[in-house]
Chains A and B, each alone.
Chain A
Amino acid sequence: MPNIEIKQLGVKQQGRWILKDISLTIAPGEIVTLVGPNGCGKTTLVRALLGLMPISTGSISLPDDLSIGYMPQACHIDPTLPITVQRFLSLSGMPIDAALNKKLRIQRLLKQPMQVLSGGELQRVLMARALMRKPKLLVLDEPVQGVDVTGQAKLYDLITQARDELGCSVLMVSHDLHIVMAKTDKVICLNQHICCSGTPEAVQKDPAYINLFGTAAEKLAVYTHDHDHDHDGGEHV
């Protein structure tokens, strides 16, 4: 499968550039994490890649017939619409995958209405819907948002597993600036343009990264598998 290629991408809205001169490549099987302050254009970049918003300049080239699994940041379902988790999953057009549901610990939730799920449960259901399609590109917008530290560890494990099993590329927006998944191949630090990119270790030493996030975020804590892990990286940006 060829690479996913973004060249000189720019997105302009109401006369203001949200993103400018973004060029990046995602190789098959690669895990790419986007970090950056609020309003830096992370979600815009993801939405542009998914074809959910028009781009102003540059190009995005995706392999033909690329199946995409997308885990959106939010999923608000109108309270007037009765829908169980099972029915929600079936809207993907794929058969219910019992093994996947078990792995994500959502098999007990199948008969529950979508609207009563907790934050963490909803994230797992959205993840299931993204993975059911056996995607070649998995796009996750803040997948661990509202999930406790242990839950985060499990979700990150699942993302890595999905990559290993499906051989899919992963593009992830990181909610927490400090915590980046250990298995990330490439971190892209975004602030309207790409400030710096590289391995997590390289990015945290990059002057552009330090300059952007200041002393509050001098170190980019890379999530490792100690389950009693407790981050003390100071304030969130």
Chain B
Amino acid sequence: MYNFLLLAFLAGVGFALVAAPLGSLVVWRRMAYFGDTLAHASLLGVALGFAFSILPMYFSVAIVCVVVALLLLLLEKQQAIARDSLLGILAHTSLALGIVVIALLPNFRADLYGYLFGDILAVSWQDIIVIYGLAVAVLALLAWNWQKLLAVTVHAELAKVEGISIQRQQLLFVLLLALSIAMAMKVLGVLLITAMLIIPPATARPWSKTPEKMVILALVFAILSVLVGLAASLYLDLPAGPAIVVASSVLFTGSWLSAR
């Protein structure tokens, strides 16, 4: 067995574990662009991490993602500009800032391909430990708050009258999302992260009658895409990240066609 393939598979599954519930919430709340925005912002984190190489890259990416997430929560309170416009502004500003910072660094060669697709075939055991450590923490917090998060997603005002703090659940959700994206950035890259958040839950939707079933099916579809994508990469010599995205799109199309 190729060791790098095993590590790539483990990394993909590690992110799929948190992407299934978080991605489902993203889809239900119509926040697909939010994941996208955070993923874009992480380039700025990478650049800043390189500029002030005191902390490991994970931390600088996590900090930038959390700051952008909080900024969005704050900006959302005003009603003059709609959420999707705000997300667009934040996404492109942080991406442009990231590129500007990179240009200012003399020794940093930006690998935009790596930024888009990560480097899933170069995963180290250390990356695996970081991914799974965070995944366990994120899953524990999600499980503990699942009922409340779901109640707020289904009907925020009803949930509030029933005693759930909308703001606290909102904050928890965006923080967990930001941390998960940060942990997966180096390995999976922007495109794969956003694809794995959105596509597997969308694939699971026609086969699900309850929210929980959708999350579990999303996880199954995500793992399947990772397997198929990696196999395609091995046997057809395709780039691994894009192959995983294509595999999950094929599953999505198949799912909706056969559900009709």
A80: chain B residues within 8 A (beta carbon): 27-28, 30, 201-202, 205
Q: Is the CB of B162 within 8 A of A77?
A: no
Q: Is the CB of B210 within 8 A of A91?
A: no
A209 and B41 alpha carbons, distance in the complex (Å)? 58
Query: Does any Cβ of B come within 8 Å of A152's Cβ?
Result: no
B209: chain A residues within 8 A (beta carbon): 82, 84, 111, 113
Among A50, A68, A77, A133, the residue within 8 A (CB) of B154 is: A77
Q: Is the CB of A72 within 8 A of B210?
A: no
Residue in A closest to B162 when the chains form the complex, CB atoms: A92
A91 and B155 alpha carbons, distance in the complex (Å)? 10
Given that A51-B160, A52-B160, A133-B162 are contacting pairs, would A81 and B155 also be in contact in the complex, using a CB cutoff of 8 Å? Answer: no
Residue in B closest to A82 when the chains form the complex, CB atoms: B208
The stretch of B97-105, B112-120, B121-129, B145-153 that contacts the partner chain: B145-153
Query: Does any Cβ of B come within 8 Å of A237's Cβ?
Result: no
Q: Is the CB of B211 within 8 A of A93?
A: no
B162: chain A residues within 8 A (beta carbon): 68, 70, 92-93, 133
Return A68 CB to nearest CB of chain B, in Å: 5
Name the 8 nearest CB pairs between A and B, nearest first: A70-B161, A81-B28, A91-B151, A82-B208, A80-B27, A50-B161, A87-B210, A52-B157
Query: Does any Cβ of B come within 8 Å of A186's Cβ?
Result: no
Query: Does any Cβ of B come within 8 Å of A213's Cβ?
Result: no
Return B117 CB to nearest CB of chain A, in Å: 27
Q: Which residues of A contact B (CB under 8 A)?
A: 47, 50-52, 68, 70, 72, 75, 77-78, 80-84, 87-88, 91-93, 111, 113, 129, 133, 139
Secondary structure class of chain B's binding surface, majority of residues: helix
Query: Does any Cβ of A come within 8 Å of B136's Cβ?
Result: no
A75 and B161 alpha carbons, distance in the complex (Å)? 14
Q: Is the CB of B155 within 8 A of A83?
A: no
Return B150 CB to nearest CB of chain A, in Å: 6
Q: List 9 A-B contacts (CB under 8 A).
A: A47-B157, A52-B157, A77-B155, A78-B30, A81-B153, A91-B147, A93-B147, A129-B158, A133-B162
B150, B151, B154, B205 pick with most chain A CB within 10 angstroms: B154
Given that A91-B147, A91-B151 are contacting pairs, would A82 and B210 also be in contact in the complex, using a CB cutoff of 8 Å? Answer: yes
Query: Does any Cβ of A come within 8 Å of B159's Cβ?
Result: yes
A58 and B8 alpha carbons, distance in the complex (Å)? 61
Q: Is the CB of A82 within 8 A of B205?
A: yes
Residues 1 to 57 of chain B near chain A (Cβ within 8 Å): 27-30
A91, A133, A139 pick with most chain B CB within 10 angstroms: A91
Residue in B closest to A14 when the chains form the complex, CB atoms: B79
A50 and B159 alpha carbons, distance in the complex (Å)? 11
Query: Does any Cβ of A come within 8 Å of B92's Cβ?
Result: no
Beyond A84-B210, A91-B159, A93-B147, 9 extra complex contacts between A and B, CB < 8 Å: A50-B157, A52-B160, A68-B162, A78-B29, A81-B28, A81-B211, A88-B154, A91-B151, A113-B209
A82: chain B residues within 8 A (beta carbon): 205, 208-211, 213-214
Return B35 CB to nearest CB of chain A, in Å: 15
A139 and B209 alpha carbons, distance in the complex (Å)? 30
Given that A72-B155, A77-B155, A78-B28 are contacting pairs, would A83 and B161 also be in contact in the complex, using a CB cutoff of 8 Å? Answer: no
A68: chain B residues within 8 A (beta carbon): 161-162
Given that A78-B28, A91-B147, A93-B147 are contacting pairs, would A83 and B154 also be in contact in the complex, using a CB cutoff of 8 Å? Answer: yes
Q: Is the CB of B208 within 8 A of A91?
A: no
Return A119 CB to nearest CB of chain B, in Å: 17
Given that A93-B147, A113-B209 are contacting pairs, would A81 and B154 also be in contact in the complex, using a CB cutoff of 8 Å? Answer: yes
Return A128 CB to nearest CB of chain B, in Å: 12
**Proximity string of chain B (194-235) to chain A, C-beta cutoff 8 Å, 1 when within and 0 when not:** 000000011001001111011000000000000000000000
A27 and B29 alpha carbons, distance in the complex (Å)? 39
Return A121 CB to nearest CB of chain B, in Å: 16
A133: chain B residues within 8 A (beta carbon): 162
Return A136 CB to nearest CB of chain B, in Å: 13
A51: chain B residues within 8 A (beta carbon): 160-161
Q: Is the CB of B161 within 8 A of A91?
A: no
A84: chain B residues within 8 A (beta carbon): 209-210
A75: chain B residues within 8 A (beta carbon): 155, 158
**Proximity string of chain B (64-76) to chain A, C-beta cutoff 8 Å, 1 when within and 0 when not:** 0000000000000
B29: chain A residues within 8 A (beta carbon): 78
A87 and B154 alpha carbons, distance in the complex (Å)? 11
Residue in A closest to B30 when the chains form the complex, CB atoms: A78
A72: chain B residues within 8 A (beta carbon): 155, 157-158
